[in-house]
Structure formats: structure tokens, C-alpha cells
Amino acid sequence: MNIKAFLLPLILVFTAAIGVRTTHANGSPVWVTGKVVSVVENQDLGLISLELPDGEVTSITSPHDLLGGVQIGDIVTIQVVEGLAQIIQVAESITPSTPAPEKKDKGVQWVPGEVVSIERGATDSMLSIKMSGGTVFNVAVYNDKIEGINVGDQVIAKVYQGWAESVTKK
């Protein structure tokens, strides 16, 4: 028996039992960014473990096809819905953390810049905005908020609690 085929079900049961899979109870998506510390692949499913910025390690179940090209040491952002990875985006370069955008209102963040990537999901997407200093800010956004927005557009995103409430072309 293949050791990966033997270990993967055990790892999946263990992670479910201790609750380290990142998920919301209502099925809404969660975006997780971290450094890849392990990747275990099987025929259909895999398990990717990330070290989060606070040092905590979390593991996320992923379809096998999303893990292609992901390597230990990569910095990735993953969209997780009901405990299963839906999108995995590998960062082009390692940055210490997502920079804090300019703040104009209490609790609301304003993120101006150029759209460099849109990773579309079924109901929501991850929007990557390159700010004036060259740093990239990733934010979750519902698809209806970015209709007509394309890579290369100059935008201002109004962000509250990690979600873009609006994205407006400059």
C-alpha cells in the first residue's frame, strides 16, 4: 500500500477531529494566507499545511488539481469554502505581510491602486490591488461588486472586515 494513500485519510480524520480546517459555519468563503510547510497528495484529495503570520499552523483539504506547482516554502492565499480549498494563488514574491492600506474612516479601509489579479470563484473573488508603493493588497469581494472591473484598471476599494464593500474605477 502506498504510504500517502494510507496517511491521507488518517490526516484528514485527525484535522477534522481537532478542528484545524478553516471554515465558516454558514458556508461563506474564508481567505487564508500563509507559508506552505507541507503538501500531502493522493489521487483525488490533498492536504496543504500553512504557517500563518502569527506562527499557528493550519491544514486545509484541497482537490488534487489545485496543488499543482505548489511547493514547500511558497506563500499562498487560499479560498476555503466548507473546509475545502476552492482557489490557491501562489505569490510571485515573498513579502512579510499584506501592507495596511490608507485609512480615512474608522473601521473602513480605502485601498487605491491598480488591479493586478482577479481570481474568480463561483460567488466571490480575490482581488489583488497594487498600491502606489508597489505592495499588493489582497481582498475578498463578491462578484457583483467587480462587474466591469478588469486587470489593469485603476481602482479604489472600500474594505471593511476583510471584504470589499465597493470597488470603483478611478
pLDDT value of position 97: 52
pLDDT in tens, 106-160: 678 888 999 999 988 888 888 999 988 888 888 889 999 999 999 999 999 998 8
Q: Which residue has the higher pLDDT, 44 or 4?
A: 44
Q: What is the Cα–Cα distance from 32 to 42, expressed in whole angstroms?
A: 22
The stretch 10-18 carries a mean pLDDT of 44
In the prediction, which pLDDT does 12 show? 46
Q: Is residue 82 predicted with pLDDT exceeding 60?
A: yes
Is-above-0.75 flag for pTM?
no
Higher pLDDT, 28 or 4: 28
Compare 112 and 82 and report the one with higher pLDDT: 112
Query: In this structure, are residues 127 and 134 in contact, taking their beta carbons and an 8 Å threshold?
Result: no
Q: Are 74 and 90 in contact (CB under 8 A)?
A: yes
User: Which domains does the chain carry?
Assistant: 3-90 (2.40.50.140), 102-169 (2.40.50.140)
Contacts of residue 88, defined as CB under 8 A and 6 or more positions apart, other chains included, come to: 48, 62, 66, 67, 70, 76, 77, 78
Supply the pLDDT for residue 5: 52
pLDDT band for position 14 (cuts 50, 70, 90): very low
Name the one residue in this structure whose C-alpha cell is 474608522: 106
Average pLDDT over residues 61-87: 86
What pLDDT digit, counting tens, does each position of 15-60 carry?
A: 443 344 444 455 677 888 888 999 888 777 888 898 888 888 888 8
